[in-house]
């Protein structure tokens, strides 16, 4: 009986010793010290980061991955404070790694950006810097472009005196504004993908058109689809308008009677680069 218990105990101990062998990620190094021996990540979307061990007698580690046309990515390597001068580069674009991110935290990193203008294989080189001894780090590839949307409110009331002369062009209202330059919820360099406006008009009228302007371009954009309560604009990423600007609003009315617009809001869909936030 005692003998069986000892055998079971020894078996359990052996299992515990073997668990790290099965659970630890495989090493992506050693031996990937040239472009010819670059560690193949395959398609970046399906790559799971592995620990690289850069031996003390080697100065660089190389990797390669594939990306599709239009993908905008960043390649990052984990970094430790003692890895002074460590650098990451995308070889066929010449992009250099930046200074370490969060150098006083436990999880800093360095990175390099890359844009795939066509389906391409990219090579990555990580250089050791001045550190001596074995180095341990992981290299990963991430999508750096994100999208979001948010609704913002204009300040004040837009007033329209009415189209007294019955002009075919109608009459524009007074202008109200919203200043988004200090809105910290907007990611840095966020660019407008699309924008709509909505509001409350009193009294409600027909033949009403919303108009919107950013102080970045100083152009009044007329809503392509519009009503007394809403407007949709032909504004896209091609306009390269930043969200964090001063925006102005007015509306055009063809009715002869006076009116006002209150509770004017703009729903802005935008995209931003994650690396601009570092």
Answer for the pair 69, 93: CB distance below 8 angstroms, yes or no.
no
**Residue-range domain boundaries for the chain:** 26-144, 147-273
- How many CA atoms are closer than 13 Å to the CA of 64, on its beta-carbon side? 14
Mean pLDDT of the chain: 88
Predicted pLDDT at 30: 65
* Residue-level pLDDT at 95: 66
Residue 44 tokens, joined: 């970046």
**How does DSSP assign 156-208, residue by residue?**
S-EEE---TT--TT-EE---EEEE-TT-TTSPTT-EEEEEEEEEEEES--SSE
Report the pLDDT value the prediction gives residue 213, as an integer from 0 to 100: 98
Residues of the chain above pLDDT 90, percent: 79
**Predicted confidence (pLDDT) at residue 2 exceeds the cutoff of 70:** no
pLDDT in tens, 133-175: 999 999 999 999 999 999 999 999 999 999 999 999 999 999 9
Where b means 16+ CB within 10 Å and e means fewer, 26-59 reads eebbeebbeeeebbebeebeebebbebebeeebe
CATH number of 26-144: 2.60.120.380
82-125 pLDDT, tens per residue? 999 999 999 876 666 777 777 666 678 999 999 999 999 999 99
pLDDT of residue 21: 37
What radius of gyration, in Å, describes the C-alpha atoms of the chain?
29
Q: How many helices (H) and strands (E) does the chain have?
A: 1, 20
pLDDT tier, 29 (very low <50, low <70, confident <90, very high otherwise): low
Residue 12: what pLDDT? 38
Cα(217)–Cα(85) distance, rounded to whole angstroms?
A: 42
Q: How far apart are CA 62 and CA 6, in angstroms?
A: 49
In this structure, the number of other CB atoms found within 10 A of the CB of residue 4 comes to 8
* DSSP per-residue codes, 108-141: -EEEEEEE-SSSEEEEEEEE-TT--S-EEEEEEE
pLDDT at 22 over 60: no
Closest among 77, 80, 49 to 61, alpha carbons compared: 77
pLDDT digits (tens, 9 = 90+) for 222-258: 999 999 899 999 999 999 999 999 999 999 999 999 9
The three-class DSSP label of residue 24 is coil
Cα 261 from Cα 252, distance rounded (Å): 11
Distance CA 253, CA 95 (A): 52
Please give the CATH topology (third level) of the domain spanning 147-273.
Jelly Rolls (2.60.120)
- Fold identical between 26-144 and 147-273? yes
Greatest Cα pair distance, the chain, in angstroms, is 108
Is residue 136 within 8 A of residue 128, CB to CB? The reply is no
Residue 27: per-residue pLDDT: 55
């Amino acid at each position: 009986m005692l003998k069986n218990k000892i055998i079971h105990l020894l078996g359990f101990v052996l299992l515990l010793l073997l668990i790290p062998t099965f659970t630890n990620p495989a090493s992506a190094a050693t031996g990937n010290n040239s472009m010819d021996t670059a560690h193949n990540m395959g398609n970046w979307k399906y790559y799971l980061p592995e620990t690289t061990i850069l031996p003390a007698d080697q100065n660089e580690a190389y990797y390669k991955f594939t990306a599709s046309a239009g993908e905008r990515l960043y390649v990052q390597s984990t970094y430790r404070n003692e890895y002074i001068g460590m650098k990451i580069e995308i070889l066929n674009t010449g992009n250099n790694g930046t200074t370490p991110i969060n150098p006083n935290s436990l999880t800093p990193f360095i990175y390099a950006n890359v844009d795939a203008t066509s389906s391409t294989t990219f090579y990555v080189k990580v250089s050791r810097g001045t550190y001596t001894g074995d180095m341990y780090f992981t290299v990963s590839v991430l999508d750096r472009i994100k999208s979001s949307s948010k609704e913002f409110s204009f300040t004040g009331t837009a007033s329209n005196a009415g189209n007294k002369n019955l002009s075919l062009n109608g009459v524009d209202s007074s202008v109200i504004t919203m200043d988004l330059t200090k809105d910290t919820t907007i990611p840095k360099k966020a660019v407008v993908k699309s924008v709509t406006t909505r509001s409350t008009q009193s009294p409600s009228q027909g033949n009403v058109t919303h108009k919107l302007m950013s102080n970045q371009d100083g152009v009044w954009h007329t809503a392509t689809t519009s009503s007394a309560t809403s407007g949709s604009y032909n504004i896209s990423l091609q306009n390269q308008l930043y969200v964090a600007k001063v925006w102005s609003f007015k509306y055009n009315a063809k009715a002869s009677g006076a009116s006002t617009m209150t509770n004017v809001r703009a729903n802005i869909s935008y995209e931003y680069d994650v690396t601009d936030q570092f």
